[in-house]
Amino acid sequence: MSSLQRTPTFDLTAATQLLQRHYGREGTLSPLPSERDQNYAVDCDGERFVLKIANAAEDPSFIAAQNEAIVRAATRPALRAGPQLIDAIDGNDTVAVDGSDGSCHRVRLMRFVPGIAMAQLQAPNSALWQQLGRWLGQLDDALTGLDAPVLHRPFPWRLEEGLEVVQRYAPLIADAEHRRDVQELVRRADVATAASRATLRRGAIHNDANDHNVIVTPGSDADDPEIVGVIDFGDMVVSWVVAEVAIAAAYAMLSAPEPLDALAGIVSGFDETYPLRRDELDAVYGLACLRLGVSAAMAAQQRTQRPDDPYLEISQGPIAATVPKLLQRPMALGRQVALDAASGGWEPSESRSTAWVAAQRRRQTGKSLSVGYRRPLHLQRGFMQYLYDTEGRRYLDAYNNVPHVGHCHPRVVDAAVSQQRRLNTNTRYLYDALPRYTERLVATLPSSLQVCFILNSATEANELALRLARTMTGQRDTIVLDAAYHGHTTSLIDISPYKHGGPGGQGAPSWVSVAALPDLFRGQHRAADPQAAARYAASVGECLDTIAAAGRGPAAFIAETCPSVGGQIVLPPGYLPDVYRRVRAAGGVCIADEVQTGFGRLGDCTYAFQEHGVTPDIVVLGKPIGNGHPLAAVVTTLEIADAFANGMEFFSTFGGNPVSCEVGLAVLDVLRDEALADSAVRVGSTLRLGLQALSQHDAGLADVRGRGLFLGAELVRDRESLRPDAARAAAVSNAMRDAGVLIGVDGPDHNVLKIRPPMQFDDHDAEHLLDVLHDALAAHPTA
Ligand code: PMP
């Protein structure tokens, strides 16, 4: 006989008599909905109770276990407002009564938990999620040691069985896209929790703190509801304790604008009252995702039996809406959020309106500060190759090379935080971090480059590079490439034609000579010319001649090894050796600005100059070196460094501080341990081949260039005139932004699509970028 056939059938009169006989109470009864049992609300002497008549199929030992849980919880002052049992006249918390068919039903009377279901709240907030976490932590602490064979019964809602349940029933999910999403989320959850599942602590848990079982009171201040209690112990099991947190989080995530805020709130509250271990924090987000998968799969299964039951659908709409959002949040991000939440390092996402931020910025930070895209991004969080805006939308970042090893990489963040907690000072004192870092940094470079100056920005580093060159040579004249950019200070604007030759610029000063940009696509000498490299080098020769004719000598030649704002240019082979020879012969030093290309971005070399068979006299490093932390370096020869030590002290207040050094070390560690340069070779070649394929079908996409994860694609109006198509480049990058993929536009003619993602960018991301680019190009054809 199924349990539904053993549902109690006590009418109002019978239930009223039962109440009188066993509890000695008179009251007004009204039926409450229940599928398996019979429940009556009882109003009696100004108090409200629930009379629960259990299904005859219910195992008495399970009712006893639930009762014990309720009694244990009620011993905790903070949980006292939750469910409480009222003893019958005979002193027992449960009485056995016979139904009309002779079957035996267990009856209990409980205090009614007053309030509304959390599911009814318009906008639950972090404070409430934390309270719920605290409540559940205290409950599970009270349940420690509670055990009974029935709590080990096979039960599809026990998360240990979750994977099997999803494997069996998810195929019944009718909507194909939702089915695939659920299966993919659970697959990822399985992988993400595999390492920790074996060690998770086990214990008796409520196992169903979904927002319909969490009772809150709107309290005195309607905006400030409080948790009153968690009802319905009917799913209680012995399971992973952290499943309690995961289950509550799973349902809370459904109503949170940013699902991870709900997870963080519940984890941090639970951890306060029931400290979670590392393995539990590692697993909790994956388990929350698994629970949503179980819910979707079970609903699909139950729907085959009860197609018209509206209760089955109660969570399914929100789950269908949330699963795609969760698929956009890597498991590693969820794990990190849980870890941060438990260590107090999580701030819930609360943002001012985008309009307010934009307006204040315009007013208070000056009009010359620009913002990207037609519809600017209002960002809230970054993780690896992803950025998230204030609406929880995810963007694939294919543009930012500063977060080199990934936005907010946990190892880099931890390195900064833990050193910041210990000591942060300056180079006037001895501390280990500086030589530990310089030793590692120098080891990445050719052996002649052995002295480091650690600074805060590439601008500061390029300034120092100029000073080094001037002190070494006793000269000031500097040769730069056309369209170059080296930084924003006065002298660096002077050596940056991109700035001094552009709007608001005042041209090159007399000590700066501008050599032709060796652009083989649209420059003076093109790819078809086998002498192009030599001809471009001769342009530097002309600059040297002009300097000599004025009776002076060169201090330096400075160039990016792959000019970036110049349009992601790849210098022709042979060019740099020729130039370096000429410059050195004239007494100048050669500076490589590797700010864009350093640290393995090109994949098969750590620094771009290595591909040209030259060793600069000075190398300037910035941007990726600190993954977003203000860090930069100049590395030079002993000879140049010694010449610089002319009596004037060198000191940069923040340069080389221990926090920066630890950050720099962590970046090098991650690059090595995650083999990110190798991945740049592979992913970069996928991207490049994909771009070349697009270029074959799109006459406007006329040139694809670059290496590793440093790529450019140039848009022209036609391939004969090579007239730049800046309008199309802007339209394509904006369309891609709207589709959730970020690239940039650069080059002197603003027509080069610039692709320079964090090094975590993977094959799947590359395919996605190519799809989105394909659509954007099709939507914005050459005019
Ligand atoms: N050199 C190059 C090649 C750069 O691209 C930049 C910044 N775009 C700089 C120097 C200056 O860097 P920062 O703004 O970090 O000082």
In ligand 1, the atom with minimum distance to the C-alpha of 632 is: 15
In ligand 1, the atom with minimum distance to the C-alpha of 460 is: 16
Nearest CA-CA partner of 461 in 669, 603, 645, 656: 656
Q: Is the CB of 596 under 6 A from ligand 1?
A: yes
Distance (angstroms) between ligand 1 centre and the Cα of 768 equals: 29
Tell me how far the alpha carbon of residue 632 is from its chain's centroid: 25
Higher pLDDT, 309 or 13: 13
Q: Is the CB of 458 under 6 A from ligand 1?
A: yes
Q: Is the CB of 485 under 6 A from ligand 1?
A: yes
Whole-number Å distance between alpha carbons of 752 and 749: 8
541: pLDDT confidence band, cut at 50, 70 and 90?
very high
Q: Is the CB of 496 under 6 A from ligand 1?
A: no
Determine contact, residues 753/741, Cβ cutoff 8 Å.
Answer: no
Distance (angstroms) between ligand 1 centre and the Cα of 558 equals: 13
Query: Which tens digits make up the pLDDT trace of 568-608?
Result: 999 999 999 999 999 999 999 999 999 999 999 999 999 99
Distance (angstroms) between ligand 1 centre and the Cα of 632 equals: 10
In testing the pocket of ligand 1, which one of 399, 485, 710 has its CB within 8 Å of the most ligand atoms? 485
Distance (angstroms) between ligand 1 centre and the Cα of 567 equals: 15
Nearest CA to ligand 1 atom 4: 486
2 has a pLDDT exceeding 60: no
46: pLDDT confidence band, cut at 50, 70 and 90?
confident
Average pLDDT over residues 188-216: 96
5 has a pLDDT exceeding 70: no
Residue 222 confidence (pLDDT): 57
Determine contact, residues 297/162, Cβ cutoff 8 Å.
Answer: no
Average pLDDT over residues 759-779: 98
Determine contact, residues 238/149, Cβ cutoff 8 Å.
Answer: no
Query: Which tens digits make up the pLDDT trace of 427-443?
Result: 999 999 999 999 999 99
Nearest CA to ligand 1 atom 12: 458
Average pLDDT over residues 108-133: 90
Residue 534 confidence (pLDDT): 98
6: pLDDT confidence band, cut at 50, 70 and 90?
confident
Whole-number Å distance between alpha carbons of 336 and 164: 27
Which ranges of 110-156 does DSSP label H, i.e. alpha helix? Answer: 126-142
Nearest CA-CA partner of 763 in 402, 400, 410, 396: 396
Determine contact, residues 703/713, Cβ cutoff 8 Å.
Answer: yes
Q: Is the CB of 459 under 6 A from ligand 1?
A: yes
Tell me how far the alpha carbon of residue 646 is from its chain's centroid: 48
317 has a pLDDT exceeding 80: yes
Whole-number Å distance between alpha carbons of 771 and 135: 47
In testing the pocket of ligand 1, which one of 399, 400, 459 has its CB within 8 Å of the most ligand atoms? 459
Which whole-number Å values give the CA distances from 367 to 189, 363, 680, in the listed order?
Answer: 46, 8, 37
Residue 220 confidence (pLDDT): 53
Nearest CA-CA partner of 662 in 424, 406, 333: 424
Beta pairing, strands 741-742 & 477-481: unpaired
Tell me the pTM: 0.85
Distance (angstroms) between ligand 1 centre and the Cα of 491 equals: 13
Q: Is the CB of 486 under 6 A from ligand 1?
A: yes
Beta pairing, strands 104-111 & 95-98: antiparallel
Distance (angstroms) between ligand 1 centre and the Cα of 485 equals: 7
Q: Is the dihedral of CA 450, 451, 456, 457 positive or negative?
A: negative
Whole-number Å distance between alpha carbons of 633 and 440: 13
Whole-number Å distance between alpha carbons of 225 and 217: 5
483: left (phi > 0), else alpha (psi -120 to 50), else beta?
A: left
Whole-number Å distance between alpha carbons of 677 and 72: 56
Nearest CA to ligand 1 atom 1: 486
Distance (angstroms) between ligand 1 centre and the Cα of 97 equals: 82
In ligand 1, the atom with minimum distance to the C-alpha of 560 is: 3
Residue 358 confidence (pLDDT): 87
Average pLDDT over residues 60-78: 94
Phi (first) and psi of residue 39, to 5 degrees: -125, 135
Whole-number Å distance between alpha carbons of 381 and 25: 58
Distance (angstroms) between ligand 1 centre and the Cα of 596 equals: 8
Average pLDDT over residues 79-92: 90
Q: Is the CB of 560 under 6 A from ligand 1?
A: yes
Q: Quote the tokens at residue 387.
A: 């950025």
Whole-number Å distance between alpha carbons of 271 and 261: 15
Q: Quote the tokens at residue 303.
A: 């729907």
SS3 state at 413 = helix
Q: Is the CB of 462 under 6 A from ligand 1?
A: yes
Tell me how far the alpha carbon of residue 511 is from its chain's centroid: 46
1 has a pLDDT exceeding 70: no
Q: Is the CB of 487 under 6 A from ligand 1?
A: yes
Residue 449 confidence (pLDDT): 98
Phi (first) and psi of residue 572, to 5 degrees: -70, 145
Distance (angstroms) between ligand 1 centre and the Cα of 486 equals: 5
674: pLDDT confidence band, cut at 50, 70 and 90?
very high
Residue 35 confidence (pLDDT): 75
Residue-averaged pLDDT of the chain: 94
Nearest CA to ligand 1 atom 11: 487
Phi (first) and psi of residue 66, to 5 degrees: -60, -45
Beta pairing, strands 701-707 & 710-715: antiparallel
636-639 contacts at long range (C-beta below 8 A, 24 or more positions apart): 636/449, 636/451, 636/453, 636/465, 636/468, 637/448, 637/449, 637/450, 637/451, 638/450, 638/451, 639/472
Determine contact, residues 562/573, Cβ cutoff 8 Å.
Answer: no
In testing the pocket of ligand 1, which one of 498, 623, 754, 756 has its CB within 8 Å of the most ligand atoms? 623
385 has a pLDDT exceeding 90: yes
758 has a pLDDT exceeding 70: yes
695 has a pLDDT exceeding 70: yes
Please, which residues have CB within 8 angstroms of residue 231's CB and are 6 or more apart in sequence? 82, 83, 113, 213, 215
Higher pLDDT, 309 or 133: 133
Residue 48, strand partner residues: 43
Determine contact, residues 652/455, Cβ cutoff 8 Å.
Answer: yes
Q: Quote the tokens at residue 168.
A: 């069996």
Distance (angstroms) between ligand 1 centre and the Cα of 574 equals: 25
Residue 219 confidence (pLDDT): 63
Whole-number Å distance between alpha carbons of 416 and 427: 17
7: pLDDT confidence band, cut at 50, 70 and 90?
confident
SS3 state at 757 = coil
Query: Which tens digits make up the pLDDT trace of 613-632?
Result: 999 999 999 999 999 999 99
Nearest CA to ligand 1 atom 16: 459
In ligand 1, the atom with minimum distance to the C-alpha of 565 is: 5
Whole-number Å distance between alpha carbons of 224 and 241: 29
Please, which residues have CB within 8 angstroms of residue 521's CB and are 6 or more apart in sequence? 527, 702, 703, 705, 714, 722
Which ranges of 210-277 does DSSP label H, i.e. alpha helix? Answer: 241-255, 259-273
Residues composing the chain: 783
Q: Quote the tokens at residue 638.
A: 């002993």
56 has a pLDDT exceeding 50: yes
Which whole-number Å values give the CA distances from 485 to 465, 563, 683, in the listed order?
Answer: 14, 8, 28
365 has a pLDDT exceeding 70: yes
Distance (angstroms) between ligand 1 centre and the Cα of 625 equals: 12
**Terminus-to-terminus CA distance in the chain, angstroms?**
74
Whole-number Å distance between alpha carbons of 775 and 731: 12
Phi (first) and psi of residue 192, to 5 degrees: -70, -25
Q: Is the CB of 406 under 6 A from ligand 1?
A: no
Of 304-318, 486-500, 514-528, 742-756, least confident by mean pLDDT is 304-318
Residue 191: CA atoms inside 13 Å, Cβ hemisphere, count? 8
The order of strands in the sheet holding 214-217 is 116-117, 214-217, 226-230
Nearest CA-CA partner of 139 in 262, 226, 245, 212: 245
Distance (angstroms) between ligand 1 centre and the Cα of 183 equals: 44
Distance (angstroms) between ligand 1 centre and the Cα of 502 equals: 17
Nearest CA to ligand 1 atom 10: 486
